[in-house]
Chains A and B, each alone.
Chain A
């Protein structure tokens, strides 16, 4: 709670947090906010510019752009959120284990992660999707593979400095179990850095999910993925530019919002209490 109030002390972080909150609200209440059904086609209303009936116009199939952007919020937040959550959970555990145990386990894991990190994220994603085929689950898998190494490295570096402190030695001398030492003794010291890293990963995940949608290798139509919507609208860029601008603006706003919030979190956590 204290962190939240500190987030609102800086205008930039306050803006970011508000943006994220807005999109979360859209994701939660989407069906009640959106004036039309997700794939409801009104043939007569196709390619309408923004008006009172269609606030952000309609696309080439006569679908309401505003409704699809609103309903797309849940889609992207869910997918990016789940993917981030999974990679943070797996990455944290591997980072804790690797940093604490050291030795061969550490060496093996780190070299594996190094080789994964050596491949550009989007390229790695395309490779993976090419082999498992596009679907929601594949996108989750991509996020997991791409972000786990990054999270694990961040966690590991904090573990290395924490395990040198004598309270960890004390826990060992008291015969504490490995999970207790990792999750109860060491993890709390990792949390500040991990919180910031999670927020940052989340913003990249949104971007990646949208990019994959745009490239047509991630989630498939008629899913209201913002990236997919941009890609679909591209063919009609001249007739219905609003069908591109609206989802593109939504992507930008959310990514900027999450980034500003992550930056604010970093400052809030580092600031003296």
Chain B
């Protein structure tokens, strides 16, 4: 074999198991060419990380390679001793872990760690090399960063450092394990740009692990789909995204909304069921229990991994039919009726709401307290049956707004009206009927249910307390509620830990809707769930909302999800509202410059979609010292000049219902802005 065609990484028939019981990865073959970026996608439990650790030769205790071989530039890795592996780590083979903060030593200055990773002793020369490395990953004041400890740096900064460390010895293969999963989307794209650029200039081969297809659509060359430890499909990005051959790949693409899609014209197709546990795998095709087009043969014979022309591979009995278009591998779409929100009489009106948190936490304090303005003079209105989507990055005040409305934090200023009646700021001052009218769905379903109460008890409480039902009556209703959210009534006897995350969230939603509230606040209800489950939750929320004409405040960092669900969308930045627009208008110019940056940072599910490259410079300012004038002026790509620093911008409105908080006249914005993204429509 000549050197130029030899793959950097070649995994053949790899099987990895834990203990004596089951195999987490089975017969996976995969190769990555020099300079190629191969994406590896699958939901949690699919074996992505196990595969990555096996390649690194760093399996956790109990894990072992049972069969197969891994070659790095032709050299077999299986069977190498720990000493030989240590020789390879950093030089030939490097990994960027999921949690950058956890990967760095908190007691050591970043610079020293970098020099150590570089494999040199601390010296003036090493210092200069290190600074150059840090500059290469786009950190301007490298000298200063070098002297800091990990906790003093932001998530984006830490990620850059970790990438610089991984690349410091110019390895031939880089493994990235969800490197951007904890970052805000505007930071995420900057890091992704960086990775792409570094790979390109050094011709490093990379295996990029992700749970979402969106991130891979943009910059992977090839994508491999892993399901329950098996490679179910792989191929070049464009072909795979445009015509997936495996029903699971299709399901992953269909279960999340694309940017610009709305619940009015598209129903999401959830993948039914859940990923099997490795000790209880289906006997033949692993995807068969969740597959909409499973046949008898799928239950009896394990499908072989077949080669398809164009360098693709697929493990499905019916791929040829899917390719020919004679069978539709898409999940059945539930029928969700159309929505007609009534915005004439607002259900909720929030005016000039401000929330401040004392810094330090202690209650007794002498002298003036330092306070963080988490939310500053935000006004919005939600019509009856309407969904108001709130987007913004971490620290933007989304959650503070919801918690102030519902009464979990006391706002400093402003008024909250529900159907015209002003609400008490304190929860304890609110009457029981007010409590009934407002309910909330939280981000982490595993925390939202009391682990020591049965599901039925959790569901019965709001009925007894808020709807005034008797105990036996409430128990019956609890069973009915379970059915309404698509769970068997027997689940009432279970405890939360016996349910999956998606099921827990369904129970939490059932509980929120139990006492028929007027307004439900949803704080990132799908962000901690696997993509295959998200669609179910979003469909469920839509369905319940229509059934009860409930108004909804939906908070998310994911613009595609908010755009899908919401009728009206507000964009928050540093506790201030920047733009509020009808959902159909938000994706069209004029945009607030910050919205423009957000939209250009969204991962699109379409590799051929065009997207403007708007990148935000610098770091998110601290809430303790918010910028004067326009809060966005420190990072604004359309910064005008002194006026942005000195004067607070006006609220500008246009005839489409856009309200934008900016000095630049709307007509000018509209003229200078193109549509940030364009993508092809989903096939009906």
State the A residues within 8 Å of B (CB). Answer: 102-104, 106-107, 165-167, 169-176, 184-185, 188-189
Interchain CA distance A185-B452 in the complex, whole Å: 8
Q: Are B452 and A173 in contact (CB under 8 A)?
A: no
Question: Is A167 a contact of B363 with CB atoms below 8 Å?
Answer: no
Which of A103, A169, A176 is in CB contact (< 8 Å) with B440? A169
Return chain B residues, CB-CB under 8 Å to A169.
Answer: 408, 440, 442
Chain A residues whose C-beta falls within 8 Å of the C-beta of B432 in the assembled complex: 175
Q: Is the CB of A170 within 8 A of B511?
A: yes
Please name 14 further chain A to chain B contacts, defined as beta carbons within 8 Å, in addition to the given A173-B427, A174-B462, A174-B466, sorted by A numbering.
A104-B363, A107-B362, A107-B364, A166-B444, A166-B447, A167-B447, A167-B449, A169-B442, A170-B440, A170-B448, A174-B465, A175-B435, A184-B453, A185-B450
Docked-complex contact B447 and A175, CB < 8 angstroms: no
**Cα of A172 to Cα of B407 in the assembled complex, Å:** 9
Please provide the 9 A-B residue pairs with the shortest distance between their CB atoms, ordered closest to farther: A188-B452, A166-B442, A165-B447, A167-B450, A166-B448, A175-B435, A174-B465, A103-B363, A166-B447
Alpha-carbon gap, A164 to B262, bound state (A): 34
Bound together, the chains give a CA A167 to CA B408 distance in angstroms of: 12
Q: Is the CB of B363 within 8 A of A172?
A: no
Q: For B448, what are the chain A residues with a Cβ–Cβ distance below 8 Å?
A: 165-167, 170
Q: Return chain B residues, CB-CB under 8 Å to A171.
A: 450, 461
**Across the two chains, which residue of chain A brings its CB closest to B406?**
A173
For A174, the chain B residues whose CB sits under 8 A away are 435, 461-462, 465-466
Majority secondary structure of chain A interface residues (helix, strand, loop or mixed): helix
Q: Which residues of A contact B449 (CB under 8 A)?
A: 167
Query: Residue B435 contacts which of A103, A173, A185, A188 (CB distance < 8 angstroms)?
Result: A173
Give min CB distance, B205 to chain A, whole Å.
39
Contact A173 B440 (CB under 8 A): yes
Residue of B nearest to A111 (CB): B364
- Please indicate the chain A residues that have their CB under 8 angstroms from the CB of B438 in the complex: 173
Smallest CB-CB separation from A105: which chain B residue?
B363
A and B contact pairs by CB, cutoff 8 A, 12 listed: A102-B363, A165-B448, A166-B442, A166-B443, A166-B448, A169-B408, A169-B440, A169-B442, A170-B442, A170-B448, A173-B407, A189-B452
State the CA gap A176–B448 with chains docked (Å): 15
Contacts A174-B461, A175-B432; A107 near B447 (Cβ below 8 A): no
Per-position 1/0 for B491-506, Cβ under 8 A of A: 0000000000000000
Q: For the complex formed, measure the closest distance between the CB of A142 and the CB atoms of chain B, giving whole angstroms.
A: 31
> CB of B122 within 8 A of chain A?
no
User: Which residues of A lie under 8 Å from residue B450 when comparing CB positions?
Assistant: 167, 171, 185, 188
| Measured CA separation A103–B435 after assembly (Å) | 24
Nearest B-chain residue to A106, judged by Cβ = B363
In the complex, B33 has a CB within 8 A of chain A? no
Per the 8 Å Cβ criterion, residues 613-641 of B in contact with A are none
Cβ of A107 and Cβ of B461 under 8 Å apart? no
Chain A residues with Cβ below 8 Å from B511 are 170
Residues of B within 8 A of A189 (CB): 451-452
Minimum CB–CB distance for B125 against chain A, Å: 48
B439 within 8 A of partner (CB)? yes
Q: Which residue of A lies closest to B432 (CB)?
A: A175
Which B403-426 residues have a C-beta within 8 angstroms of A? 406-408
